[in-house]
Amino acid sequence: MIALIQRVTEARVVVDGSVIGEIGAGIVALVGVERADGEAQAERLADKVCAYRIFADRAGKMNLSLADTGGGLLVVPQFTLAAETKNGLRPSFSPAAVPAEGERLFDSFVECAKRRVQHVPTGRFGADMKVHLVNDGPVTFWLKT
């Protein structure tokens, strides 16, 4: 599994003109599922996202995690993260999980995250979403299990 995480001061996801999830300070996690992924990868990635130390402590060092700060985690499904981009000028999505399995493992990731962080709104799997965010820093990391 892959997560592109961004530290944000605020974020929201909109579907059909309606906000379906939003957070204040916290992390936006764009999550992609690959064919070989399973429950273990979903749990390990959720652990890492929630424990990743990207928030400043009193000394200004990135030493605090989302779990430490009590911030929100907006999780957005993004199958394009699993794209093969090495050859040509058009991405191939053959490494991505089939939709039903991708949705199941995305939901598993969300459930794991909810055991670690209190506020975990999500985007909608398969929907055309508009993601609005204010990247804080900017701070962005690519995590893979």
The HSE-up count of residue 19 (CA atoms within 13 Å, CB side) is 9
Q: Give catalytic residues, as residue numbers.
A: 78-80
Q: Which residues pair with 77 in a beta bridge?
A: 31
Find out whether 135 and 6 touch, Cβ atoms under 8 Å. Answer: yes
Segments in 1-145 forming alpha helices (H):
39-51, 66-69, 99-114
**pLDDT the model gives residue 136:** 97
Radius of gyration of the chain (CA): 15
How many residues are listed for the chain in this entry? 145
**pLDDT the model gives residue 145:** 92
Find out whether 30 and 127 touch, Cβ atoms under 8 Å. Answer: no
For range 115-131, the mean pLDDT = 97
- Tell me the pLDDT tens digit for each residue of 62-96: 999 999 999 999 999 999 999 999 999 999 999 99
Q: How many CB atoms lie within 10 A of CB 3?
A: 25
pTM: 0.96
Nearest-5° Cα angle at 111, 16 to 145 = 100
The yes or no reply on domain 2-144 and CATH 3.40.30.10 is: no
Q: Which residues pair with 64 in a beta bridge?
A: 55
